[in-house]
Amino acid sequence: MFWTLELASYLEDAPWPATKDELIDYAIRSGAPIEVVENLQELEDEGEIYEGIDDIWPDYPSQEDFFFNEDEY
């Protein structure tokens, strides 16, 4: 499984919380690249409910990781 910020961005508006099957269905319906669907298919399916992208990609960078000061703009 290989995630990038661009691939993860296709799941920003996903219907969280969601199961693996719901996320795959969403990715297909929203026209996400095949890499997103393939990454989701590689998730272990134990009936787990994913609360957000952090559950799928634990190293997902947060806003704090970019040292961006919103107050400056």
Q: What is the pTM of this model?
A: 0.80
Domain boundaries, the chain: 15-47
- What pLDDT is attached to residue 60? 82
| Residue 56, C-beta contacts closer than 8 angstroms, at least 6 positions apart | 3, 11, 23, 39, 40, 43, 50
Percentage of the chain lying above the pLDDT 90 cut: 60
Q: State the pLDDT confidence band at 68, using cuts at 50, 70 and 90.
A: low
Segment 2-5 long-range contacts (CB within 8 Å, at least 24 positions apart): 2/35, 2/39, 3/39, 3/56, 3/57, 3/60, 5/61
Average pLDDT over residues 34-44: 94
Q: Output 46 or 43, whichever has higher pLDDT.
A: 43
